[in-house]
Amino acid sequence: MLDRIISSAKYRVERKKAFRLYSEIKAVALLLNRSTGFPFEKALMKDDISFICEIKKASPSKGIIADDFPYIDIAKEYEMAGADAISVLTEPEFFLGRDEYLHEIQREVSLPVLRKDFIIDSYQIYEAKVLGASAVLLIAALLDTDTLRQFIHLCHELGLSALVEAHNEMEIESALKAGARVIGVNNRNLKDFTVDINNSLRLRKLVPDTVLFVAESGIKSKEDIDALKKAKVNGVLIGETLMRSRNKCEALKKLRGDA
């Protein structure tokens, strides 16, 4: 499945380049404000654990997650409920995301917005800047260390944060060597989609406290949050649990321990 997603991403980028030249998207991105203060990273620097709430319509492992998908209303609901940042899927084929979702959401909320996609070309990083993202997901499994380093550097030059996703020890090592300031451990195995929250607890020990740490996927309860807090995790990225909840404010309050 991962190979199919990557092939689709490569095809999509080449089609976009034919529609809007690389030189054009780069020029537009470089005209935008690059002195952002990195709000996504600031959102993860609280004394308490931070919540990155995700907006996605579907996933390869779960199929359609939300038939009704008022994405702007969902973003506003997350903000009202006390989310610290918002993650938006823009991958169209397997997650039914759209670039427009991110662009429209970032205009309607004051929270930093993460572009969650399969980034395999610097074109997509310039594009994320133009769309209004505050941060970009970079998946270590898709990029060698040198490319990862180049992409992180480009993100920082543009005023974007890079959330570098890892799933195992080798990917953590690559992320650290590449200069990641934020590392997210995915508790979902991208090859077989199995989920184990202990993956974050186990790999947390390999990441120094000077690097922000985010736990991603499979987080469903206050007990999960408490275990991650105890391990000194800075933030959690929660998607399906919230997207399947009719009352997202209440669901987030329960996870935060406010309900």
Q: Which domains does the chain have, with CATH numbers?
A: 2-32+39-256 (3.20.20.70)
| Catalytic hit among 50, 134, 161, 186 | 186
Instruction: Compute the average pLDDT of residues 226-248.
Output: 93
| Catalytic hit among 41, 54, 77, 171 | 54
| Catalytic hit among 26, 57, 116, 248 | 116
* Percent of the chain residues topping a pLDDT of 90: 80
The reported pLDDT for the residue numbered 71 is 96
Instruction: Compute the average pLDDT of residues 168-177.
Output: 98
- Cβ within 8 Å of residue 225, ≥6 positions away: 49, 219, 236, 255, 256, 257
pLDDT in tens, 72-92: 999 999 999 999 999 999 999
Q: Transcribe 113-173 into DSSP letters.
A: EEEES---SHHHHHHHHHHT-SEEEEEGGGS-HHHHHHHHHHHHHTT-EEEEEE-SHHHHH
Amino acid at 177: K
| Catalytic hit among 77, 127, 165, 240 | 165
pLDDT value at 187 more than 80: yes
Q: Could you tell me the two tokens for 74?
A: 């969902």
- Residue 257, Cβ neighbours under 10 Å: how many? 12
Tell me the C-alpha to C-alpha distance, in Å, between residue 61 and each of 64, 90, 95, 178, 243. Answer: 9, 17, 10, 30, 15
Phi, psi of 163 (to 5 degrees): -90, 105
Instruction: Compute the average pLDDT of residues 182-209.
Output: 89
Alpha-carbon distance of 141 to 158, in angstroms, equals 23
Alpha-carbon distance of 75 to 70, in angstroms, equals 9
The reported pLDDT for the residue numbered 259 is 59
> Does residue 42 carry a catalytic annotation?
no
> Does residue 54 carry a catalytic annotation?
yes
| Catalytic hit among 134, 217, 234, 240 | 217
> Does residue 57 carry a catalytic annotation?
no
Q: Transcribe 24-91 into DSSP letters.
A: HHHHHHHHS------HHHHHT-SSSPEEEEEE-SEETTTEES-SS--HHHHHHHHHHHT-SEEEEE--
The reported pLDDT for the residue numbered 120 is 98
| Catalytic hit among 26, 56, 57, 248 | 56
pLDDT value at 206 more than 70: yes
- Strands 135-139, 113-116: pairing kind: parallel
Long-range interactions of 189-197: CB distance < 8 A, separation 24+: 190/1, 190/2, 190/139, 190/141, 191/1, 191/2, 193/1, 193/60, 193/61, 197/224, 197/227, 197/228
pLDDT value at 258 more than 80: no
> Does residue 56 carry a catalytic annotation?
yes
pTM comes to: 0.95
- Cβ within 8 Å of residue 206, ≥6 positions away: 169, 172, 173
Instruction: Compute the average pLDDT of residues 222-249.
Output: 92
SS3 call for 238 = strand
Mean pLDDT across the chain, nearest whole number?
A: 94
> Does residue 165 carry a catalytic annotation?
yes
